[in-house]
Amino acid sequence: MKNTGWLLGLIVIIFAIIFWPKTSNNTITTTTTSGVEVTGLKKYSFPGILPKEKIEGKTAIIATEKGIIRIELFASEAPKTVSNFIYLAQNGFYNGLTFHRVEPGFVIQGGDPKGNGTGDPGYKFEDEKVVRDYDAGIVAMANSGPNTNGSQFFIMFEDNKALPKQYTIFGKVLSGMEVVRAIKISDKMQTITIE
C-alpha cells in the first residue's frame, strides 16, 4: 500500500512536468471561454518618468553568454529613456532576448522580443535630446523614426561622428567592451539587473 501512494505521487509529478504550460518571460498563455489556448507576447505599459531615486546613479548589468557588460545610465540626460529601460529590466523583459544585429565596427543591437528588429514592448515613446556624440561604448535607443522608441537598444563599437543625433543616448559601457566585441548574432542576454 505504501508503494502505491509513492508511485501515484511520482506519476502526478511526471504528468505535471510534461503537461504544465510552458511560457517564457515575454509570453503569456491564456485559455478562452471556448477552451482554445492562445499564446502571445506579454503586454507592458510605458511607466513614464520614475522618481529620481529610482533612476539616478544607477548601473545596468547585462549578463550574456560571453560575459558581463556594466553600463552607467544617464538619468539626468534621458530620464524618460532610463526610466523605460529600468522598468523593462526590472520586469524581466530582456531576460533571454538575443542580440539580433551585429555590425562589426559599428554596433550590436538587442532588446527585440521578436528577434528580428521589428518587435517592441507594446508601446512607443518620445525621443529625448541627444547631447553627446556616438562614441565607443555609448548605449542608445534603436528606433524606426521619430518618437518610436520601445525596447531595442544598441551599443557602439567605435566612435561615429557621422551618425545623425536621432537615437536617444541613455548610457555608456563602464566595463565589458571586450564582451560587446565578442557578441555574435543570436547571443542571449541572460538577465539585465539594475544596481
Whether 156 maps to a domain, the answer reads: yes
Q: Which residues of 138-147 are buried (b: 16+ CB within 10 A; e: fewer)?
A: bbbbbbeeee
Q: Which domain holds residue 172?
A: 52-194
In a domain, 16, yes or no: no
Question: What confidence score (pLDDT) does residue 31 get?
Answer: 32
Dist. CA 181–CA 108, nearest whole Å: 8
CATH number at residue 145: 2.40.100.10
Q: Whole-angstrom Cα distance, residue 22 to residue 37?
A: 12
pLDDT of 18 reads: 47
pLDDT value for 43? 78
Count of domains in the chain?
Answer: 1
pLDDT, residue 171, reads 99
Q: 147, 148, 176, 142: which is closest to 72 by C-alpha?
A: 176
The CA distance from 158 to 104, in Å, is 9
Whether 39 maps to a domain, the answer reads no
Instruction: Report if residue 182 sits inside a domain.
Output: yes
41 Cβ contact partners less than 8 Å away, ≥ 6 residues apart: 26, 27, 28, 113, 119, 122
Enter the pTM of the model.
0.79
Could you give the C-alpha distances from 86 to 54, 56, 73, 75, in angstroms and in order? 9, 11, 9, 10
Running along the chain, 195 residues long, what does each successive block of 10 average in pLDDT? 60 51 38 40 85 97 98 98 98 97 97 95 96 98 97 98 97 98 98 98
